[in-house]
């Protein structure tokens, strides 16, 4: 009986530790998402670069997929410009050193001088590399009316 109580206590402590870890990691991801939206809205390519993994896949709702250097080049030249990004329905799930974020964006801006105002479904995949969360995948899809 004593062994059973000890096992239950250890299990409860481990579960509460895992929940606390998951909660703090979710807060870190929320902070990273906010840093990303702020940096891209300000066209701050150096801040964006610090958030992106070197092996980023950035898939736009138009079907265009870019790597990190291609995406940053468009931000630096103003070919990709975001005036505003508003998040809604954000859901963060943590799987070890990987986080998946799903939600809805309303994005305004321009691509190659052509204005856009889109409501998009977004999936971001973040991976903890060292002490930092890095965005490894960005995928947007136009939301059905």
Per-residue pLDDT of the chain (145 residues; tens, 9 = 90+): 566 454 444 443 344 344 444 579 999 999 999 999 999 999 999 999 999 999 999 999 999 999 999 999 999 999 999 999 999 999 999 999 999 999 999 999 999 999 999 999 999 999 999 999 999 999 999 998 7
- pLDDT computed for residue 144 by the predictor: 85
% helix / strand / coil in the chain, to the nearest 5? Answer: 40, 45, 15
pLDDT of residue 22: 57
What's the pTM? 0.82
DSSP-derived 3-state class of residue 136: strand
Instruction: Using CB atoms within 10 Å of the CB of residue 66, give its burial: 0 to 12 exposed, 13 to 18 middle, 19+ buried.
Output: middle
Is 61 strand, coil or helix?
coil
Query: C-alpha angle with apex 115: 113 to 119, nearest 5 degrees?
Result: 140
Specify the number of domains making up the chain. Answer: 1
8 Å CB contact between 45 and 36? no
pLDDT at 100: 98
List the CATH number of the domain containing 42. Answer: 3.10.450.50
> Domain of 56?
2-142
Is residue 91 within 8 A of residue 126, CB to CB? The reply is no
* Residue 143 in tokens: 């939301």
């Amino acid at each position: 009986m004593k062994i059973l109580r000890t096992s239950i206590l250890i299990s409860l402590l481990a579960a509460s530790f895992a929940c606390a870890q998951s909660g703090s990691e979710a807060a870190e991801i929320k902070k990273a998402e906010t840093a990303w939206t702020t940096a891209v809205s300000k066209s701050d390519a150096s801040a964006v670069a610090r958030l992106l993994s070197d092996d980023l896949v950035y898939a736009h709702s138009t079907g265009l997929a870019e790597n990190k250097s291609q995406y940053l080049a468009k931000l630096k030249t103003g070919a990709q410009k975001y005036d505003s990004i508003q998040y809604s329905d954000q859901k963060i799930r943590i799987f070890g050193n990987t986080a998946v974020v799903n939600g809805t964006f309303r994005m305004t801006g321009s691509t190659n001088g052509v204005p856009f105002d889109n409501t998009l479904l977004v999936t971001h995949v973040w991976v903890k590399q060292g002490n930092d969360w890095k965005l490894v995948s960005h995928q947007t899809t136009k939301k059905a009316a």
